[in-house]
Amino acid sequence: MQPNVLIVDDEAVFAKTLAERLSFRDCQVSIALNGNDAIDLIAKKNIDVVILDLAMPGIDGIETLKEIKKIKPLTEVIMLTGNATVETAIEGLKVGAMDYLMKPCEVEELAELINMAFKRKSIQEKKKPR
Amino acid sequence: MNTISDENVRFFGKVVASISHEIKNVMAIINEKAGLLQDLTVMAQKGMALDVNRVQTIADDMRTQIKRGDAIIKNMNKFAHSADEDIKEVSLNELTGLIAILSERFASRFGATLSFKPAQEGLTIRTRPFLLEFILWDCIKIALERCGEDKAITIAVEKSDQGAQVQFFIRNENFPDSIIIDGLSWQLDDLHADLKVQKSKPQMVLLLPKDIS
């Protein structure tokens, strides 16, 4: 089974390139360029793991994360931050993100985290009462 | 020499933090493009055909990002040097244009866009450049907080009877008659400047003398 991954980042070139590289690593990847589009997509599609940029125009990363957790609590979120300090990322962990990476990051490290997140979500889904 | 306040230092910090974030984004793109070249090379070594045009496009994309990074660093350098001299002659078009560019990321957080209209002819004034940048940044902040549904602000530089003016056009019918500018008042005094609100347009106008010395 391949994880369904959503990359949320307002830097379109970054998002497209990362999507292609993750597709070489057995991921099914979609892209959203802002928080609102991401929330719409997550509500409609079965997304396993979200790669979420924290600094975005309009609805920011933390607000997007809160919405994602409200509509799909089992969807795992990995934050990507360009900030030199980790305060916002720590705030994200408190509201339900699984982990964070600093930009620029190593794709192998990200792919490993995605696989961990996918496994975690699968376990949680099995535990969930039907 | 004028005193640099805590607000001025915070402003400097905010601008530098915003610029460093932009540079990180550029580096992240170059990192992914370089990684993509590596991925394609590994696949080629395993027997998959290497598309030369694709490699060329990736190299072009990397060059584009390097140019973008260079422009960001040049603006950061201009901004940093604006604090070198207390008073000097500056091009108001250049200085206002720089602050408009540096404010773009801040504006995008409000979902707003900034457009800049320079004066037709070059307009130089003798002023305190760093303090003027601080005031322009604050005017943009005031405009962004009150830009209404349209979320579009136009910043225009013009010659005036006293020297020059910078206008901030805001398309919001509910723009207030007056704005509390307590935090800015001594800074405006230091520049011999005035900030007026014209609800009828609606716009804010920053009036600047030709020479403060």
Q: Would you call A14 and B25 a contact, using CB atoms and an 8 Å cutoff?
A: yes
pLDDT higher than 90, residue B63: yes
Of A20, A60, A82, the CB nearest to B21: A82
Residue B64 DSSP SS3:
helix
> Taking a contact as any Cβ pair under 8 Å apart, which residues of chain A between 48 and 87 contact chain B?
55, 57-58, 60, 82-84
Short-list B16, B33, B105, B75, CA closest to A55: B105
Answer whether A7 touches B (CB < 8 Å). Answer: no
Q: Would you call A14 and B32 a contact, using CB atoms and an 8 Å cutoff?
A: yes
Which residues in chain A touch residue B108, judged by CB atoms under 8 angstroms apart? 10, 57-58
Phi-psi region of B125 (alpha: psi -120 to 50; beta: other; left: phi over 0): beta
Q: Greater confidence, B204 or A7?
A: A7
Q: How far apart are CA B176 and CA B182, in angstroms?
A: 16
Q: How far apart are CA A84 and CA B18, in angstroms?
A: 11
Q: Residues A50-103: pLDDT tens digits?
A: 999 988 888 889 999 999 999 999 999 999 988 767 888 899 999 999 999 999
Q: Which chain B residues touch A if contact means CB-CB below 8 Å?
A: 20-21, 24-25, 27-33, 35-36, 39, 43, 61, 65, 108-109, 111
Which residues in chain A touch residue B28, judged by CB atoms under 8 angstroms apart? 11, 14, 82, 103-105
Instruction: For strands B203-209 and A28-32, give the pairing.
Output: unpaired
Which residues in chain A touch residue B109, judged by CB atoms under 8 angstroms apart? 57-58, 60
**Residue labelled with tokens 């920053």:** B206
- Minimal C-alpha gap between A52 and chain B (Å): 14
| Distances in whole angstroms, Cα of residue B60 to Cα of each of A15, B26, B52, B65, B162 | 17, 14, 12, 9, 49
Beta bridge partners of B156: B117, B167
User: Least CA distance to B23: which residue of chain A?
Assistant: A82
Q: Mean pLDDT across the stretch B50-55?
A: 95
Q: How far apart are CA B151 and CA B138, in angstroms?
A: 17
- Place B2 in a pLDDT band, splitting at 50, 70 and 90: low
Q: Would you call B36 and A105 a contact, using CB atoms and an 8 Å cutoff?
A: no
Q: Provide φ and ψ at A83, rounded to 5°.
A: -75, 145
Answer whether A24 touches B (CB < 8 Å). Answer: yes
Mean pLDDT lowest among A11-25, A35-49, A108-122, B12-26:
B12-26
The whole-number pLDDT of residue A28 equals 97
Q: How far apart are CA A127 and CA B9, in angstroms?
A: 53
pLDDT higher than 60, residue B19: yes
Q: How far apart are CA A76 and CA A47, in angstroms?
A: 9
Query: Rounded to 5, what percent of chain A is helix, strand, coil?
Result: 50, 20, 35
- ipTM for the whole complex: 0.91
User: Least CA distance to A17: which residue of chain B?
Assistant: B32
Q: Would you call A105 and B28 a contact, using CB atoms and an 8 Å cutoff?
A: yes
